[in-house]
Amino acid sequence: MSHESIAPVLVVGAGPAGLTIALSLLKNGVPVRIINKAPVDHKEQRGLGQQPRTQEVFHFLGALLEMRTMGIDLQPLVFYKFPGGKEVLTTLRLVASEDPTPSRPFNNPIQVPQYHTEAVLRSHLAKYGCSVELNTEFVGLKQFDDHVEATVKRMEGGEEMIETKSYRWLVGADGGRSVVRKQSGLAFEGTSTPEKAILGELYLEGLDTEHWHMWLKDAGNDLPTSLLVRTTEVPGKFWFMLSGDIDPDQALVSNESVKQALQLAMERDDLPLGEIVHVTDYRPSVRMVNKFRTGRVFVVGDAAHVHTPRGGQGLNSSVQDAFNLGWKLALVETGLAPPSLLDTYNEERLPVIKRMLQETVRMTQDVFTKRGDAESIKSAWQRGTHLKQFGINYRWSSIVFDERFQAIDAQGAEAAALNPYGTEGDSILRAGDRAPNATGLVRVGQDAQSQTTDLFSVFGPTHHTALIFGGGAAGIRAIIKSLQVCPPGALFTVIVSPGADSVALNAADGGDAVLHDGDGTAYAGYGMSEYQTYVVIVRPDGVVGATVSGEEGVRKYFGAVFSDIQPA
Ligand SMILES: Cc1cc2nc3c(=O)[nH]c(=O)nc-3n(C[C@H](O)[C@H](O)[C@H](O)COP(=O)(O)OP(=O)(O)OC[C@H]3O[C@@H](n4cnc5c(N)ncnc54)[C@H](O)[C@@H]3O)c2cc1C
Ligand SMILES: *[C@@H]1O[C@H](CO)[C@@H](O)[C@H](O)[C@H]1NC(C)=O
Ligand SMILES: *[C@@H]1O[C@H](CO)[C@@H](O)[C@H](O)[C@H]1NC(C)=O
Ligand SMILES: *[C@@H]1O[C@H](CO)[C@@H](O)[C@H](O)[C@H]1NC(C)=O
């Protein structure tokens, strides 16, 4: 087969994970074909919202503002008392609400219907002339050394067509029942949970729209029955999930039987239930792949891991998978990076997902065992702010590298190395961590006219960013020179100047921007001092790749990321 007939990337599945990887690749100039077996775009709520870290990814992809037009702050949750189901037992917040800070501008989860998240991402794909091919189902693949052959089934003019084409890479984002995963022989290990659920949307009257409403009923057996109801953006329409020790087959016999099951769960007949818009059976299990890649095939999102919705990590983790893989695949496909860079996708994400599954299992057990009074409920349902996913890190990754932390604390570096969700209060920023935002930065230079900016406007999914800290002109010049090993356009170099004086400006030749850290948030957030020169290299996915002090470190980091960079 000639090389001309091999296309770059096929993305199978157009949920949040598939759309995110497609957009990351397109922004990096890599053409994508994305297919969805569904005949039309769904209109469902599904994953209810976005964790702060997910919002940050959508910010970097340029799509957050439109997501937020339909987003509201995550609402508090009301629990009702039994018998009666009417009186309030307690009200709580699943995740404590926090004020935005300079390093965390999006500090709280928001509720956005999943169909809207997907529609916004599709509208961004369209800017690159890419649209999702509906009614197109992936059915099989064959791997070769330099390509993958994928077979799809699609409808054309009312007729079924089978078509086989070759791609250099294939990304399976085809959800929990992933055919890509099965066809590529990846194991999906874990267990089913005893919990069964039905979920859907219906019209009802009499419930306020400022809270989520929860009827948690202890029937004396192992599993409590819980009914969660919350508003949607359509007046009168609510989303619901009934779960626990229920019989979905029986509940789903008719619309009337669905309503009866709901009424039984809340013990109330004063809330008139109207039309059932849709309802489905949902049997959560807890499983993950043994690896995220085999040869030229990757899995992202639900295709790689499923778990109970508790803690809201599903969509959120799926988007992070896609964003982790996107820039790496783009650099390899455009010939700038060695294929070994792709091994770090599995190396970085596998421990995070493993930890996430443990967390969701623990939260589920808590919810099953701690019940009855308001105190138990609070201790089971109010969750740590680590679920916002700010702490998720890749400190163990073979491509991240931190000279500064080794200098501060060599033993601590080892001991604290493997906590993929991070530890709250672990305040020393290290390579592998999320790169924080910083505000009040003032552009310095001839035509800059003192506009203020922030670091999150400087980072981006198509380039690395080098932040040079420290006040000494000689050190800055040496670092800028060493950074010139990078391929053109692949790096944006910023001198973060502690003062408004001209030292940094005089040294700035070859850098892209000088930013004066007017309110000190950048130096504070990155734990830097004006007396020592360091460069913090931020990856395209907003993660600190390296903190190094000179040419040797610069070459060590970029030598693993880009082809043809030799050690100093
Ligand atoms: C009905 C439903 C309800 C859910 N409810 C909740 C909830 O209440 N709370 C919660 O936290 N999470 C919920 N989830 C999970 C949440 O939606 C997922 O975590 C999130 O969507 C993961 O994104 P994804 O892109 O990995 O997968 P998905 O969103 O599942 O996307 C998979 C995509 O692949 C397509 N596809 C599948 N097979 C093929 C094939 N062979 N060929 C081509 N395309 C294919 C599908 O049509 C779809 O577009 C729900 C999921 C579903 C399906
Ligand atoms: C993402 O996190 C939010 C906030 O906790 C949660 O409401 C939502 O359900 C999560 N999404 C998914 C699909 O897990
Ligand atoms: C960075 O922080 C500033 C100040 O909090 C905020 O205005 C800006 O929106 C942030 N940037 C992003 C996109 O997070
Ligand atoms: C339930 O109601 C919906 C919406 O009115 C309708 O489309 C559907 O066919 C009904 N389902 C059953 C099983 O009656």
CATH of the domain at 49: 3.50.50.60
Weakly modelled stretches of the chain, pLDDT under 70: 1-4, 310-315, 383-388, 409-418, 423-427, 446-450, 501-504, 506
Closest C-alpha residue for ligand 1 atom 37: 174
CATH of the domain at 426: 3.40.30.10
Residue 359 forms part of a structural domain: yes
Pocket perturbation via mutation, ligand 3, pick of 55, 59, 437 by most ligand atoms within 8 A of CB: 437
| pLDDT of amino acid 2 | 46
**Could you read off the pLDDT of 385-429 as tens digits, one per residue?**
666 677 889 999 999 999 988 777 666 555 555 688 776 556 688
Reference 133, options 13, 28, 217; nearest CA is 13
Angstrom distance (rounded) from CA 144 to CA 447: 53
The ligand whose atoms approach the alpha carbon of 454 most closely is 3
Reported as type and span, the H/E element at residue 356 is: helix 343-369
Angstrom distance (rounded) from CA 557 to CA 30: 24
Residues 229 and 168 in one domain: no
Q: Which residue has the tokens 């790096």?
A: 491
Q: Which residue has the tokens 């491509």?
A: 399
Residues 340 and 438 in one domain: no
Neighbours of 535 (CB within 10 A): 28
Residue 180 CA: which ligand 1 atom is closest?
A: 41
In the reported structure, the alpha carbon of residue 316 is separated from the centroid of ligand 3 by a whole-number distance in angstroms of 20
In the reported structure, the alpha carbon of residue 110 is separated from the centroid of ligand 1 by a whole-number distance in angstroms of 19
Residues 231 and 311 in one domain: no
Pocket perturbation via mutation, ligand 4, pick of 256, 276, 277 by most ligand atoms within 8 A of CB: 276
Angstrom distance (rounded) from CA 203 to CA 238: 6
CA distances from 9 to 15, 136, 247, 510 (A): 17, 16, 42, 35
327, 357, 388: which is the final residue of a domain? Answer: 388
Angstrom distance (rounded) from CA 532 to CA 160: 66
437 lines ligand 3 (CB under 6 A): yes
Closest C-alpha residue for ligand 2 atom 5: 312
Residue 64 CA: which ligand 3 atom is closest?
A: 13
Reference 10, options 32, 27, 25, 37; nearest CA is 32
What are the two backbone dihedrals, phi and then psi, of residue 156, each rounded to the nearest 5 degrees?
Answer: -135, 120
Residue 99 forms part of a structural domain: no
Spell out a b/e string for 507-520, using b for 16 or more CB atoms within 10 Å of the CB, else e.
bbeebebbbbbeee
Alpha carbon dihedral 464, 470, 476, 479, in 10-degree steps, equals -50
In the reported structure, the alpha carbon of residue 309 is separated from the centroid of ligand 2 by a whole-number distance in angstroms of 8
Residue 86 forms part of a structural domain: no
Q: β-strand 441-444 against 452-453: which pairing, if any? A: antiparallel
Residues 122 and 239 in one domain: no
CB-count burial class (<10 Å; 0-12, 13-18, 19+) for 443: middle
519 lines ligand 3 (CB under 6 A): no
Residue 311 CA: which ligand 2 atom is closest?
A: 5
Angstrom distance (rounded) from CA 201 to CA 178: 25
Helix axes 314-333, 343-369, angle to 10 degrees: 180
In the reported structure, the alpha carbon of residue 37 is separated from the centroid of ligand 3 by a whole-number distance in angstroms of 38
275 lines ligand 4 (CB under 6 A): yes
Residues 181 and 317 in one domain: yes
Strand, helix or coil for residue 563: coil
Degrees, nearest 5: CA angle 264-269-275: 85
21 lines ligand 1 (CB under 6 A): no
Angstrom distance (rounded) from CA 538 to CA 434: 9
280 lines ligand 4 (CB under 6 A): no
In the reported structure, the alpha carbon of residue 112 is separated from the centroid of ligand 3 by a whole-number distance in angstroms of 20
Residue 89 forms part of a structural domain: no
388, 411, 438: which is the final residue of a domain? Answer: 388
| Domain residue limits at 449 | 401-561
CATH of the domain at 270: 3.30.9.10
Residues 498 and 547 in one domain: yes
18 lines ligand 1 (CB under 6 A): yes
Residues 410 and 268 in one domain: no
Residue 393 forms part of a structural domain: no
Strand, helix or coil for residue 168: strand
Strand, helix or coil for residue 191: strand
Residue 395 forms part of a structural domain: no
Please report, in angstroms and rounded to a whole number, the separation of the first and last CA atoms in the chain. 41
Residue 110 CA: which ligand 2 atom is closest?
A: 4
388, 415, 432: which is the final residue of a domain? Answer: 388
What is the Cα gyration radius of the chain?
25
Residues 279 and 291 in one domain: no
CB-count burial class (<10 Å; 0-12, 13-18, 19+) for 220: exposed
Q: β-strand 401-402 against 544-548: which pairing, if any? A: parallel
Residue 567 forms part of a structural domain: no
| pLDDT of amino acid 482 | 96
Angstrom distance (rounded) from CA 515 to CA 163: 53
Residues 302 and 428 in one domain: no
Alpha helices, DSSP H only, in 105-254? Answer: 114-126, 179-183, 248-251
| DSSP 8-class letter at 276 | E
Pocket perturbation via mutation, ligand 1, pick of 36, 195, 201, 316 by most ligand atoms within 8 A of CB: 36
Residues 349 and 415 in one domain: no
Residue 102 forms part of a structural domain: no
Closest C-alpha residue for ligand 1 atom 12: 47
CA distances from 470 to 110, 276, 294, 384 (A): 37, 62, 43, 35
Angstrom distance (rounded) from CA 266 to CA 234: 23
Angstrom distance (rounded) from CA 59 to CA 104: 13
The ligand whose atoms approach the alpha carbon of 456 most closely is 3
Domain count, the chain: 3
CB-count burial class (<10 Å; 0-12, 13-18, 19+) for 504: buried
In the reported structure, the alpha carbon of residue 189 is separated from the centroid of ligand 1 by a whole-number distance in angstroms of 19
255 lines ligand 4 (CB under 6 A): yes
| pLDDT of amino acid 387 | 66
The answer to whether the beta carbons of residues 125 and 26 sit under 8 Å apart is yes
Residues 273 and 171 in one domain: no
Q: Which segments of 30-102 are extended strands (E)?
A: 32-35, 49-50, 72-73, 77-80, 88-92
Residues 378 and 415 in one domain: no
What are the two backbone dihedrals, phi and then psi, of residue 51, each rounded to the nearest 5 degrees?
Answer: -70, 160
Angstrom distance (rounded) from CA 235 to CA 238: 8
